[in-house]
Structure 1
Amino acid sequence: MKSKIFASPHEALKGICENGMLVACGGFGLCGMPESLIDALCETEVNKLTVVSNNAGIDGIGLAKLIEKGQIAKMISSYVGNNKTFEKAYLNGDIDLEFSPQGTMSERLRAGGAGIPAFYTRTGVGTLVAEGKPHEKFDGETFVQERGIRADLALIRAEIADEEGNLVFRKTARNFNPMMAASGKITIVEVEEIVPAGEIDPDHVHIPGIFVQRIVKSTIPKRIEFVTNREEG
């Protein structure tokens, strides 16, 4: 069997990047963000991308670099917040934005990975989020239809991978990463540590290797978005 382990993020992306791809990218702010893979994707110069990500990282880091270079045509996100690069691009009309509530976005990714084309939810009914989407009544309540997301490429970050691609995430770095791993037609994971197959206790596996096609060791140390120190004394 061909090894899933690649020597660098650039090697891991080789041969699979195309203009107009739908890319699912893990992370909540900087937590669980596959920064090494994002930087490598930025260097490929692919464009017209649609990217699914909670908030596109922060200014100058991660997806903000692709937004600055005009490589992303549309974001499907839950939150703009502290990302001024994202905010400016949207307000200037340089990028399309589809708002998707966090729980809905997570379920859309999970549904895509499970082969479910659409589902109904009460979230967003009566708001702009629901405009133009099919509605249906169940048990006297109105629900809006949301489509599952099947990504052409999923870029995620985990703590540990074995050689078969079984993954372990550390705490809240699990955020959207597991659902995105399952939703990707091709899933690439960057990790802190790669161990031999069989070394991870099966009960500790968060995502089985069947969902992972390529593995690379992270080349960028994990960042802290907000540092808070306790005062002395």
Structure 2
Amino acid sequence: MDKVVADAATAVADIPDGASVAVGGFGLCGVPMELIEALRERGTTGLRVVSNNCGVDDWGLGVLLAEGRIVRMTSSYVGENKEFARRYLGGELEVELVPQGTLAERLRAGGCGIPAFYTPAGVGTQIAEGGLPWRYAADGTVATASPPREVRAFGGREYVLEEAITTDVALVRADRGDRHGNLCFRSSARNFNPLVAMAGRTTIAEVDEVVDALDPDEVHLPGIFVDRVVAGGRSGKRIERTTTRPRPGTEAA
């Protein structure tokens, strides 16, 4: 089965307004930027997005957020984006904050058909007790708060019940992909991408290189989880902060 599609615009053409979308990446690493741009150009709006973070003000998911296309975020880290903070605190954006490991496991569980699981992360906090502000009202009061979660004890230790995440669509970025949908990720760009791909009912992969077939030993994510592959790599790879060591002889006196 050849899963390669012509371009990013074609790949996202049937994503409707209001869709739930899981998006790969960690910070600005491994972000499917061309698929995100294609959604922006198409005008898709009302999106409920699951992603570790929401990009920055001018890149990644931040470009959709800036145009008001995202109405809800399920994330672990929301720093580096002033527009995100403004919309959240102003009541324009609903935000569910999830511990990072829990977010990863919720995505993996969704892809594996596991409806829920127990974890010690969040026990004794508002994650378990409820009351985390998901959405603020315009006057600064809490309009929507997180519900309390079920807590049970196993082996003398308490655990909180977390539900799996599945989404209408998943957008991921890989280094290489073949025509069967098998994907190979490069180094830390693997991050949330395989888990996101598993959680989507329809998964679209933007790859830097399309090959006829990957060697089985190179496959990080089997094609059973991937529905469409599009050649990408034109958006470049952004670095959030460049930190380098002074060259010898250039240190300040």
Give the TM bin, normalised by the shorter chain. Answer: over 0.9
Q: What are the equivalent positions in structure 2 for 1:211-222 lying under 5 Å apart?
A: 211-218=225-232, 219-222=234-237
In structure 1, the residue matched to 2:145 is none
Structure 1 match to 2:141? none
- After superposition, residues 13-32 of structure 1 pair within 5 angstroms as 13-15=12-14, 17-32=15-30
Q: Which amino acid aligns with 1:120?
A: Y
The CA RMSD over aligned residues, in Å, is 1.1
Q: Secondary structure at the match of 1:90?
A: helix
1:223 aligned partner, one-letter code = R
Alpha-carbon distance in structure 1 between the residues aligned to 2:118 and 2:247 = 52
SS at match of 1:194: strand
1:26-45 mapped onto 2 (5 Å cutoff): 26-45=24-43
Per mean C-alpha deviation after superposition, the further-off stretch among 166-175 and 79-88 is 79-88
1:26, distance to aligned residue in structure 2 (A) = 0.6
Q: Are 1:117 and 1:148, in contact at CA under 8 Å, matched by a contact in 2?
A: yes
- Mapped contact 2:57–2:66 kept (Cα < 8 A): no
Tell me if structure 2 keeps the 8 A contact 1:161–1:168. yes
- In the alignment, the residues of structure 1 paired with residue 247 and residue 184 of structure 2 have an alpha-carbon distance, to the nearest angstrom, of 36
Unaligned runs of 5+ in 1: none
Query: One-letter code of the match for 2:107?
Result: L
Q: TM-score, normalized by length of structure 1? A: 0.95
Q: Of 189, 198, 220, which aligns to 1:182?
A: 198
Bigger CA radius of gyration: 2
Residue 149 of structure 1: how far off its partner (Å): 0.4
Q: Which residue of 2 aligns with 1:224?
A: 239
Query: Would you say how many aligned residue pairs link Structure 1 and Structure 2?
Result: 229
The aligned runs of 1:20-169 (5 Å cut-off) are 20-130=18-128, 131=130, 132-169=148-185
User: Structure 1 residue 210 and structure 2 residue 224: aligned?
Assistant: yes
Which runs of no fewer than 5 residues in structure 2 stay unpaired? Answer: 131-147, 249-253
How far has the Cα of 1:142 moved from its partner?
Answer: 1.2
How high is the TM-score relative to the length of structure 2? Answer: 0.88
In the other structure, the counterpart of 2:186 is 170
Q: Identity, % of aligned pairs? A: 52
Contact 1:155 1:187 in 2 (8 A): yes
CA shift at 1:82, angstroms? 1.2
Deviation at 1:230, TM superposition (A): 3.3
Match of 2:251 in 1: none
Look up the equivalent residue of 2:231 and give its one-letter code.
Answer: K
Amino acid at match of 2:218: H
Per-residue CA deviation, residues 77-133 of structure 1 (Å, 9 max, x unaligned), is 001111112111111111000000110000000000000110010101111222211
Residue 201 of structure 1, CA deviation: 2.1
Deviation at 1:216, TM superposition (A): 0.8
